[in-house]
Structure 1
């Protein structure tokens, strides 16, 4: 089973960190963010528990809620997948940010935007702001 996970990780990384940016060019961040919003709708992600399960299933890493207030939510994305991506100079997490933004927008019924930053601890922090 672990061998299969390694292959899945490699394919994910190949598509995500090499092929898509090559195809999308300078617009990759905006397009991946938009695509993330559509992924969230397609898989009907409308609460944080679904979001956490989806990130695990998609092998995006371990998603944890650090803060969940009325207009702001902060998530931490970590794990070996994230560490490996960061080690290979892949610091693009717009797809994940779009998925989170759309999920929270659907959950709260208010426009929501999210963005990712990389912390010194080699994890990704995604902050979502609602109107």
Structure 2
């Protein structure tokens, strides 16, 4: 690891331990398989943390430290999501930022909610934003879906008395 990368990760909003694990160790171990394995790991993670609504996906992305997620556009067959925030901006300055974990997680959440076969891919990475395209086929039911018990997310309480 270079001094520059060390300092960048040390001051990253995710913190050094998470940044080293996610953006240094995993790609070093997985090499060319990083994209595929992280995508399927994201899908598996979503099956462990299923939520029942778009707003819950957005909240869970924040809680998991993936970044701030926003639905930009939606049609009957696809959705375009934007992922941003300081964590995303910090990661985008790294030599090879990878957001396939987030794409897989998002694809599986949508699949669990719609019961339609769903895939996602990162379509654009800009200076401070990542675009994820989610495509699903309502006519193609996800055959391996077992009954899902959706999580009830805890949301931070705001103190209006202040």
Q: TM-score with structure 2 length normalisation?
A: 0.72
Give the number of the structure whose alpha-carbon radius of gyration is greater.
2
Which of 12, 15, 38 is the aligned partner of 1:9?
A: 15
> Partners in 2 of 1:8 and 1:79 — Cα distance?
11
> Partners in 1 of 2:56 and 2:16 — Cα distance?
25
Q: Which residue of 1 aligns with 2:98?
A: 92
Q: Which moved more, 1:41-50 or 1:10-19?
A: 41-50
The one of the two structures with greater contact order (alpha-carbon pairs below 8 A, sep at least 6) is 1
Residues 127, 76 of structure 1: alpha-carbon distance in 2 compared, 3 angstrom cutoff: same
Question: Could you say what the CA RMSD is over the residues aligned between the two structures, in angstroms?
Answer: 1.7
Residues 14-51 of structure 1, C-alpha deviations (whole Å, 9 max, x = no match): 11101111111211100000000000000113432221
Tell me, which stretches of 5 or more residues in structure 2 are unaligned? 1-11, 138-162
Q: Which residue of 1 aligns with 2:28?
A: 22
Q: Which residue of 2 aligns with 1:64?
A: 70
Q: Which moved more, 1:44-53 or 1:105-114?
A: 44-53
Which of 104, 120, 141 is the aligned partner of 1:114?
A: 120
Residues 44-99 of structure 1, C-alpha deviations (whole Å, 9 max, x = no match): 13432221111101111110110122110111000111111011223211000000
Q: Which moved more, 1:117-126 or 1:55-64?
A: 117-126
Tell me, which stretches of 5 or more residues in structure 1 are unaligned? 1-5
Number of residue-to-residue matches in the alignment: 126
